[in-house]
Amino acid sequence: MSQYAHVPKSELDEEKIRALEEHEIATGPLSVLQSSVKNHTQILIALRNNRKLLARVKAFDRHSNMVLVNVKEMWTELPKGKNKKPVNKDRFISKMFLRGDSVILGTISLVTEFKLLLILFFFILNWLTLRFEHYDHLYI
């Protein structure tokens, strides 16, 4: 598919254009959104207004417009006055349409990666336990 990357789209037929776009989504920057849709994982989105969203992506397009569910919006407010400390705030939004021009960055949530590692660890531990069950007489 990368051989079509430098060919003008006007010279490609519809099938090649569709294949090229699917390749770009699967391997390019939008692959984070694609994997979130497929695996139902959370992503962390940084916005232009200095807020962050932790959410699951239901759908997206090439402009990074997104339909999000289970959204936790997080931001910091600076109180007026001297010697006041910044206050972290958040709110929950069940469903949201996010316009793509406000998106700076989207990344897989570290919490999601940690959960996946824990699941993998316990799966391997369970597999090892079942595999060596019949060696009860051995002392390890």
What is the DSSP secondary-structure string of the chain?
Answer: -GGGTTS-GGGS-HHHHHHHHHHHHHHSTTHHHHHHHHHT-EEEEEETTS-EEEEEEEEE-TT--EEEEEEEEEEEE--SSTTPPPEEEEEEEEEEEE-GGGEEEEEE-HHHHHHHHHHHHHHHHHHHHHHTGGGTT---
pTM of the predicted model as reported, rounded to 2 decimal places: 0.67
The per-residue pLDDT for 53 is 93
The topology under which CATH files domain 2-135 is SH3 type barrels. (2.30.30)
The per-residue pLDDT for 29 is 79
The per-residue pLDDT for 48 is 92
Q: Which tops the pLDDT comparison, 69 or 139?
A: 69
Q: Domain-by-domain residue ranges, the chain? A: 2-135
Burial class from Cβ neighbours inside 10 Å (0-12, 13-18, 19+) for residue 55 reads buried
Q: Is the pLDDT of residue 33 over 70?
A: yes
Span 49-69, average pLDDT: 92
Q: Is the pLDDT of residue 66 over 80?
A: yes
Span 82-102, average pLDDT: 92
Residue closest to 30 by CA, chosen among 14, 131, 38: 38
The per-residue pLDDT for 2 is 60
Q: Is the pLDDT of residue 135 over 60?
A: no
The per-residue pLDDT for 122 is 74
